[in-house]
Amino acid sequence: MTIFIGASLVALAVVLFILQPVVKGLHASLERDEFELTDTEARKRVALLALRDVEYDYLANKLDEQDYRSLKAELTAEALAALEADEQARGASGIEEDDLEAEIARIRAGLRQGCVCDACGFSNEVGSQFCSACGQAVTAEAVR
Ligand SMILES: [Zn+2]
């Protein structure tokens, strides 16, 4: 009987130890300290990066026109919502859709200026040393 109670206490202690961060809500504050990003900022970045990836995949012919359009519409809505939330979190008011379009245009221009691979024609990101598609070394001079 004594052994049983002892084992129960140990089990209880382990459970409490595991739950400790959850109970104290530590995960939220840790994240903020490490990256100094608010939730809305993080959401905005994720959405914009996803948009960039869609543009990238489309230019690399990994996406067909239809997928590109539906993905872009979806991600644009998400990015806009995130931008809006971010603006509100900072206390600013209103967000122009032009801001997002400008951001997308900037990303797309960057990709277009990228290093086109001599071997396979893949359009790599600006400053790429090697082709993302075939691994060949690419030189910036090859494009310009
Ligand atoms: Zn290549």
pLDDT tens for the chain, 144 residues: list them.
677 777 777 777 777 677 666 656 655 555 444 456 778 788 888 888 898 888 888 888 888 989 999 998 898 888 888 888 887 777 655 556 677 778 777 777 766 667 778 888 777 777 788 888 898 888 754 333
H or E element, residue 110 = helix 97-112
User: 52 alpha carbon to ligand 1 midpoint, in Å?
Assistant: 20
User: 81 alpha carbon to ligand 1 midpoint, in Å?
Assistant: 36
Helix (H, G, I), strand (E, B) or coil at 27: helix
pTM of this prediction exceeds 0.75? no
Which residues are placed with Cβ below 5 angstroms of ligand 1, an ion?
117, 119-120, 122, 131, 133-134, 136
Beta carbons of 117 and 136 less than 8 angstroms apart: yes
Gap between the Cα atoms of 126 and 110, Å rounded: 6
